[in-house]
Amino acid sequence: MNLEERMRTMIRAQSKLSLRLDEISRLLSERPRSAGPQSGVSPGPAQGSGLDPAPVLDVLDRLDDARRSVADRPAVDRGLEGIAARLEGLLGAMGIDRRARIGVPVDPKLFRVVGVEHSPSVKDAVVIRVVRAAALRGTSVIREGEVIVSKKSS
C-alpha cells in the first residue's frame, strides 16, 4: 500500500470516527442529567449516565501514541488532534478530567512510575512520557495513570 492509499484510508477512518463521535455526543445530550451523587457516594461510570469512560480514555492514550509517531506529518497530526479534542470534550461532558502532562514533576497521587529514562538535561522524577493518562472526577481519582520519568545519569 503506497502513501497515497494509506492517507485515503486514514481520512476515511477519521471521517467514520467523527460520525461516531457526533452520534455519541447526540446520545449524551439526549440523556436526562443525573441529580448528582446521593449521600457522598459517587455515581456510576459517567455521572449516572451508565456510560463507561474507560474505552474513551484508552482511545485517547492510543491517539497520544499515534500523534507521537506522526509528528513529522503535520496534516495527519492535526486530524488526530481534532479527534482527541472531540473525545476530551466527551469526557468533560461526563465530568471527567484527563491528566497527561509531560515536563512536570510526577504526582504520586495520580501516577504510578512504570519506567525510568536517563536524561542529563532534565531534573529527576519529571514526567517525560505518559504511558496511560490519569483520570479524575472532581477530586476522586477514577483511573491511575502510568508514566516514565527522568533520571539524571550519575
Give the model's pLDDT for residue 96: 95
Q: pLDDT higher for 44 or 1?
A: 1
Q: Taking 80 as the threshold, does the pLDDT of residue 93 lie above it?
A: yes
Residue 140 pLDDT more than 70?
Answer: yes
Instruction: Check pLDDT > 80 for residue 9.
Output: no
Torsions phi, psi for 123 (to 5 deg): -60, 160
pTM, rounded to two decimals: 0.67
**β-bridge partners, 146:** 112, 132
- Whether residue 46 has pLDDT greater than 50: no
